[in-house]
Structure 1
Amino acid sequence: MGFRWWTRVNALEIGGLDGYVSNLSDGRVQIVAEGDRSHCDRLLDSLRTGDTPGRVDGVTEIWGEPRGGYEGFAIR
């Protein structure tokens, strides 16, 4: 199971999240998630547990106003 797939599965299990996960050209992964703060916090917590596939060296949070335009949670 790959990291992007794992992230999508977690987002769908948490529920109430729209957005996406994608690879960046420099090897990092970008996750954009919109939903209730508690649901976003649960997704962030799952990324920090160390039980992810692959290696997570750090998680950077950027909070802002939801922009919308996402339907479900996708892998890009």
Structure 2
Amino acid sequence: MTIRALEMKYNLTKSWHHQSDKRSHEGNYADVDITDPLFPRLPTYKSFYANECLQLVHCIFHQDFKMYKYSSVLGN
């Protein structure tokens, strides 16, 4: 059961800090200081993964991706 399904089933409201639907800033923030006051407020989680990082993860966990049939595309 998904979080959204549980919220609907038990008539729960989203927590005040749950803002994933407001994350719209895209780009490459992998090497950016996120404590900088000029940093965009809510970048997407994909913005923190540089190509080098993705390649390293796939190299290290290749067998896991294959065995558990994980998607090789971030977010799928």
State whether TM-score is above 0.5. Answer: no
TM superposition score category, shorter chain reference: under 0.3
Query: Which of the pair has the greater relative contact order for Cα pairs under 8 Å at 6+ separation?
Result: 1
Could you say which structure has the higher strand fraction? 1
Q: Higher Cα Rg: structure 1 or 2?
A: 2
Could you say which structure has the higher helix fraction? 2
TM-score normalised by structure 1 residue count? 0.26
